[in-house]
Structure 1
Amino acid sequence: MSRGFGMSHYVFHENITTCEECDFVNSIPPLQSGERFRCQHCGHVLVSIHKHVAARIMGAGLSALLMLALAMSFPFLGFSTNGIERSVTLFNTLSVLLSHGYLVLGAIISLALFVFPLVYLFSVLFLVWSFQHKEVLNFAQRYCIRWLVVVQPWLMVDVFLVGILVALVKMSSLADISLKLSFWAFCGYVILLLKTITLVDKRWFWNQVAGKAADHPMIDTTAKQQGLIGCHFCGATQLGNAKHCDRCGHSINSRRPKSIMTTVALLIASLVMYIPANVFPIMQTTFLGSTEPSTIMGGVLLLWSLGSYPVALIILFASVVIPLAKVLALSWLCWQSYFPSHRQTEQKIKLYRITELVGRWSMIDVFVVAILTSLVQMGNFMSILPGPAVLSFTAVIVLTMLAAMTFDPRLLWDKDDAPSASSLARREE
């Protein structure tokens, strides 16, 4: 394809890489800024190189940190009813939960909002800075890339932002809610963090830190069929008897050990926790000394009765439909890895990708409870506290996310009767 600039300026040049979704060994042509390379077999994006990527990551990452600092420094939301006013900061979301003894829920909120995003941002900024300072210890760079890969699925600031909007709709009929200065800074922080994530490519980072991966003779087939192993962490291709990746040092296996067994166990555990999550109240509201518990479905029905149909549907799908659908989808994929149907493997992989994508959005209801708890604390006149179902529901979300991570999609391709590898490399500007 026409690249639009000098033919000799390559920012990524690696001979082969192995797809983590289908195990197909791909021959990679030299890539320039602005190009993307997809797996020849399944279409999964393997390498994405953005123009001026280092400068853009540094700019977006530093700006995200600045927006977070501003979001933590000023009032976040205002709450007023019957002449009583209350203003909270972003940190109150955590401190109120801890002061009422909800230590586990407070830890989850702090990890999702502060710890994981800060680890991610500092790691990526350190890596970009270290590319210009060769004296930096290489092992520090390697650990930072590992942190990026591990932490990224658990970044949920965008889910928290949607949770704020849902909470505001829930309280709009009971009180006047005002958006303070920090709320808009938090919106900027979310946008900039998401932009940083889109600019990060783990294969490009490993290429910068550890150089090109070792080359191997290849044919158009999977690594397993060639007696090779693809590293799930950096994409390098190793000999079949290797136990650790020569480039990143991570332990490698041709297929994840006990993948189906682990996935099924996590799904069973999530189903067990799904029952108390929907039976017990997720939130307890006190008004004029009278406490009224509310289950997940009770909250959906209340929003529907108030005419907030879009928000009611969001909560219904995020808190009820998605967790159950994810369990059913992963269970079906586990079955397909042993007893494949006549459906094309590409369709099964699309289902797996959707399952991975939507799982974390079920955290909306947990964040709504946390926000309302920090905002509505007016003694016996009006207060909101988490119910016993919060931790059960959080466990459902975490367990289903872990189940999706432990499932090895390459097992689906192993059962493919006639894998097609004749398509051309898909590279996009």
Structure 2
Amino acid sequence: MPSPRESARAIFRAALAAADPRRAMRRALQRDGDQLRVQDRVYDLARLRNVFVIGFGKASATMAQAAEEILGDRITRGWVNVKYAHTAPLATGKIHLREAAHPLLDQNALDGTQKILEILDGATENDLVIALVSGGGSALLELPSAGVSLDDLRALTDALLRCGATINEINTLRKHSSQVKGGQLARRARQAQLLALILSDVIGSPLDTIASGPTAPDATTFADALNVIERRGLRGEIPASIVAHIARGARGEIPDTPKTGDPIFARVQNVIIADLTIACDAAVETARQLGYNTRLLSSFIQGEAREFAKFLGAIAREIDASNRPVAKLTCIVCGGETTVTLRGKGKGGRNQEIALAAAIEIAGMPNVVVLSGGTDGTDGPTDAAGAIADGETVARASAMGMDARAYLANNDAYNFFQPMGDLLLTGPTGTNVNDVMVMIVG
């Protein structure tokens, strides 16, 4: 059997492989000549004038590769916005990739969104638009509402990340400060058929939340957005232009996002092609093959990263002391997306923070390993997917002159793990289905 550290890495790699976008696209798109079957719907390619491809998200370049492999001879043209360094080689030359920033917006995202809208504006009822949607799409597809600037949206995103807002709260405000989110991209597609192929990075895969739901009905309202502002105390933290716009909407002065039952969705098909469940199931299967008594604890993990780490530590101690709830050798698999409330000025991400906080909780337990990684290969504004820790991590760090608790207090997990060689460095993976956490108790 591989060492616990090697096992944890192998289990994480299996999760990544299961969520590969090209594999997911081939599962979703079944082509037989001019017949393209997607679930229970068949598109007759011979009757279509054009097939356009648009995309936005961290995994959308890899999805575009698969689209070319399956439909390359029928694609008219396309435009895909991707995160910097998340590109992929495209063979046909018909689909243009535009790199842009994530999680904070830049001008490239806005310029690329205008190109996507130009394609939609030219599409007719005889055309099919295929939208490749993945996590990160909220930042990579954007056209601000009237009176709202790029700098305003940047300030909004920064304030939301700093206050520890949930992904649902973030998306509620994004949708109501935008002209493309919350079903508004589908509205812009007009008469064309719209097929959205979605790689989900949101717990439970709600269509209205992934990438801020540009092709799905929106259940949130301007009133909901205003409530988030009040609940999080954001009136003095976000630009006045956004507060004013949302307040106008809450008073009914601006049309809200399209809701369930809007006729625009009659010509829209939204399909989840891969999500966290697939990744976690693969991790569990690999752990069992390696000989571990394995449990999927939950694929709905949310909340503060360091609090989740305390929970993992408590489970590790219970297993070590009593072989409950699972007997050793044990592997616990979790999935989800935690948040970090920034208290310091260090460098890191939620997965690195989980690993650092867990290292403190399992200190002195050399038989325990915790790995936490983002399936997109990037955790926060760093080049690491996450980190790996064990019961000796804190002692090793102390011998190197590092105080684990001080680094955690400063949200500086990256600079803690880097000199120890314990960062999880995968590079951009081409996929994005939330985070996977692996704990081994030997």
Normalised-by-shorter TM-score class: under 0.3
The structure whose residues are more often strand, as a share, is: 2
TM-score (norm. length: structure 1): 0.23
The structure whose residues are more often helix, as a share, is: 1
Q: If you compute each CA radius of gyration, which structure gives the higher value, 1 or 2?
A: 1
